[in-house]
Amino acid sequence: KQNGKVKAKKFESVTVMFTDFKGFTSYSQNLSPELLVKTVDYYFSKFDAVMEKYDLEKIKTIGDAYMCAGGLPFPTKDHPYKMVQAAFEIAQIMEETKRNTPKDIVPFDVRIGINTGVIIAGVVGTRKFAYDIWGDTVNVAARMESLSEPGRVNVSQSTYLLIRDRYSCEHRGQIHVKNKGMMDMYFVNDSKEKPLTKTKKEKTISA
C-alpha cells in the first residue's frame, strides 16, 4: 500500500502442498450451488485450522483445490515435517467426515501431493492483492497431487530426502510427469517417532 508494489522474493527451500477432492467435478454437476459451497467451506475451514496449528501459509484455493506452503514468508527449517504432519491431519479429517458425515455435507476422498524446493513469492495485481508463489517447485507439487491416490500423501524425491529420517516412506518407483519426464515418488506411510508406551507400573497407577 505504501509503495504500490511488493518486491518479489526468492526462497531457497519451501515445501508446497496441493490437495483436491476426487470426483469433485462430476459430483458438483448434481449438487445445488448452496450445498456445494457449504461442503467446500466446511472442509477448507478445517484445513485452515490445520495451517494455523502448524504455522503454515495458506496460499489460495481454486475450486476444490487447496494450495499451501511452509517456510515462508519467514524461512524455517522444519517446514517439510510440519507439512507432512498437516497432510496426515487433512487426510484424517476427510476419513472422519466419511465415517460421521454431518448434515448437508458431501463426503469426498482427498488426494495430497507435496514437493520441496526453490520458489519465488510476491504480490501481483492492483486490486484484491494476493500473496502468491511461482516456480517449478509449485508445478511439481501440483503433479504430485494429481498423481497421488485417494487418502495418500504423495511426495517428491526432494521432500523424501528431507523427511526420511522421521517418516516411513514407500517408494513408488519412477512415474511419468507431464513436462518433466520420469520422476521418483514416495507415499508417506507413518511417523517413525512412535509415542512412548507406558510401563506396567505406570499403567497400574493410571488405572
* β-pair partners for 16: 69, 115
Could you list the pLDDT tens digit for every one of the 207 residues in the chain?
566 666 789 999 999 999 999 888 887 788 888 888 899 999 999 999 999 999 999 999 998 999 999 999 899 999 999 999 999 999 999 999 999 999 889 899 999 999 999 999 988 777 777 889 999 999 999 999 999 999 999 999 999 999 999 999 999 999 999 888 999 999 999 887 754 444 444 443 433
Domains detected in the chain: 9-206 (3.30.70.1230)
- Other beta carbons within 10 Å of 34: 9
The verdict on pTM exceeding 0.85 is: yes
- Locate all alpha helices (DSSP H) within 54-110, ordered by sequence: 79-99
Residue 33, C-alpha cell as written in the block = 450451488
* Segment holding 171, helix H or strand E: strand 167-177
CA separation for the pair 36, 43 (Å, rounded):
11
Beta-carbon contacts of residue 93 (< 8 Å; ≥ 6 apart): 43, 46, 47, 50
